[in-house]
């Protein structure tokens, strides 16, 4: 078999061309993945932010529920005081309101 310099140069040229094509394909794949990775990072950041906001909303909801319960107890107490102040009766209602108010203040 007779191999000359031109054949060797041709084979090396073909190999270099194939390697160049492979490199371009790898670069293209990396560039194609880059937006996906950026989106993934943004999604993770947004999910974290949503979780933080949900936690705050749950805390606020619990606090509002607690405040509403306290307001109801205070309104009952004020109602009992008004009834007692108007006619001097309703001592049982006053005692019950006092107990509810004490229970609320102690359990807070």
Q: Read off the pLDDT of each residue in 91-105 and give the average, rounded to a whole number.
A: 82
Query: Between the ranges 1-15, 40-54, 93-107, where is the mean pLDDT highest?
Result: 40-54
75 contacts 83 by C-beta, under 8 angstroms: no
The alpha carbon of 90 is separated from its chain's Cα centroid by a whole number of angstroms, namely: 50
Is the pTM higher than 0.75? no
pLDDT in tens, 52-63: 999 999 999 999
């Amino acid at each position: 078999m007779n191999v000359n310099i031109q054949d060797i140069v041709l084979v090396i040229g073909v190999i270099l061309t194939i390697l160049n094509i492979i490199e371009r394909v790898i670069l293209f794949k990396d560039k194609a993945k880059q937006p996906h990775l950026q989106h993934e990072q943004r999604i993770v950041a947004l999910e974290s932010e949503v979780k933080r906001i949900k936690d705050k909303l749950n805390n606020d909801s619990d606090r509002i529920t607690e405040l509403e319960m306290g307001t109801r107890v205070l309104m009952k107490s004020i109602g009992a005081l008004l009834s007692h102040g108007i006619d001097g009766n309703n001592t049982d209602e006053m005692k019950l309101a006092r107990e509810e108010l004490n229970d609320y203040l102690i359990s807070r």
